[in-house]
């Protein structure tokens, strides 16, 4: 396998190169409407300068990121979640402090905000009004086949000092956050040695062509028993 020429030292397929795979992914990502969100546009986007009331949120995300670096807790990534102009969740990368590979800023900010919006423990609770598990109707025109789902973090924004990795972007989808603001691009992140952009490319490939071996349809009937348990449950709570 050949190495790419970017500072990150990736093997072939690094996003720092304009490979055919990358172009294919970008085309599909644009078609799927995710490229803008993921910062994967083929040409650099113009810098967006925020009004001071919003800039302070990016400054706080960046403060958290720098703290993590200076204390040796993790990579240079921080995030804040904002609701009605107020920070309700903070997160910083703590992978090195914890030895937990998924301890990313966005995920921890989501957990922090979620804990704050839930006044009582989830297990055994009755999903009361005002919690993030309160059911809300789908939006008009939504392709969602389920008529209502848990609110989650709808109505919130997230500010991140660097583009979200695929795991964190997926966490943002699950959280139903309305708007993502990020500062540094995926290309900036690749340049300091992190793998986020390459993972986005891998996700666009068929299962059998990914960097990690994946066996699909492995004992499908066994796994589907749990799905049946869900569809058989009369009082299930869609989220």
CB-count burial class (<10 Å; 0-12, 13-18, 19+) for 154: middle
Q: Which residues are within 8 A (CB) of 203 and not within 5 positions of it... i.e. 6 or more apart?
A: 166
Minimum CB separation from Zn ion for residue 107, in Å?
7
| Nearer to Zn ion (CB atom), residue 151 or residue 185 | 185
Six-digit token string for 203: 């996700």
What's the rounded Cα separation, in Å, for the pair 103 and 96?
9
Helices 105-117 and 52-70, axial angle in degrees (round to 10): 120
Minimum CB separation from Zn ion for residue 168, in Å?
3
Q: Which residues are within 8 A (CB) of 179 and not within 5 positions of it... i.e. 6 or more apart?
A: 157, 158
Minimum CB separation from Zn ion for residue 28, in Å?
21
Minimum CB separation from Zn ion for residue 23, in Å?
24
Chain centre distance of CA 70? 24
Annotated catalytic residue, options 59, 106, 201, 221:
106
| Nearer to Zn ion (CB atom), residue 58 or residue 168 | 168
What's the rounded Cα separation, in Å, for the pair 87 and 70?
23
| Nearer to Zn ion (CB atom), residue 97 or residue 135 | 97
| Nearer to Zn ion (CB atom), residue 165 or residue 184 | 165
| Nearer to Zn ion (CB atom), residue 13 or residue 78 | 78
Strands 156-162 and 86-92 come out as unpaired
Which residues are at the interface with Zn ion (CB under 5 A)? 104, 165, 167-168
Minimum CB separation from Zn ion for residue 65, in Å?
12
Q: Is 59 a catalytic residue?
A: no
Three-state SS for 100? coil
Six-digit token string for 168: 């964190």
Please give the positions annotated as active site: 106
């Amino acid at each position: 396998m050949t190495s790419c020429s970017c500072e990150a030292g990736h093997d072939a397929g690094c996003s720092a190169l304009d490979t055919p795979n990358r172009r294919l992914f970008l085309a599909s990502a644009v078609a799927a409407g995710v490229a803008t969100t993921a910062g994967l546009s083929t040409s650099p986007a113009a810098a967006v300068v925020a009004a001071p009331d919003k800039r302070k949120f990016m400054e706080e995300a960046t403060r958290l990121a720098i703290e993590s670096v200076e204390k040796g807790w993790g990579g240079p990534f921080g995030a804040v979640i904002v609701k009605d102009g107020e920070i309700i969740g903070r997160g910083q990368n703590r992978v090195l402090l914890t030895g937990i590979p998924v301890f990313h800023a966005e995920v921890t900010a989501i957990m922090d905000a979620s804990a704050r919006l839930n006044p009582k423990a989830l297990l055994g609770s009755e999903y009361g009004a005002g919690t993030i598990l309160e059911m809300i109707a789908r939006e008009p025109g939504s392709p969602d086949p389920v008529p209502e789902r848990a609110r989650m973090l709808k109505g919130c924004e997230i500010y991140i000092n660097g583009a979200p990795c695929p795991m964190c972007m997926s966490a943002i989808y699950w959280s139903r956050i309305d708007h993502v603001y990020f500062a540094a691009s995926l290309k900036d992140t690749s340049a300091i040695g992190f793998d986020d952009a390459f993972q986005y490319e891998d996700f666009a490939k068929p299962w059998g062509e990914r960097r990690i071996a994946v066996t699909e349809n492995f004992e499908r009937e066994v796994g589907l028993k749990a799905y049946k348990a869900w569809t058989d449950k009369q009082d299930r709570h869609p989220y």
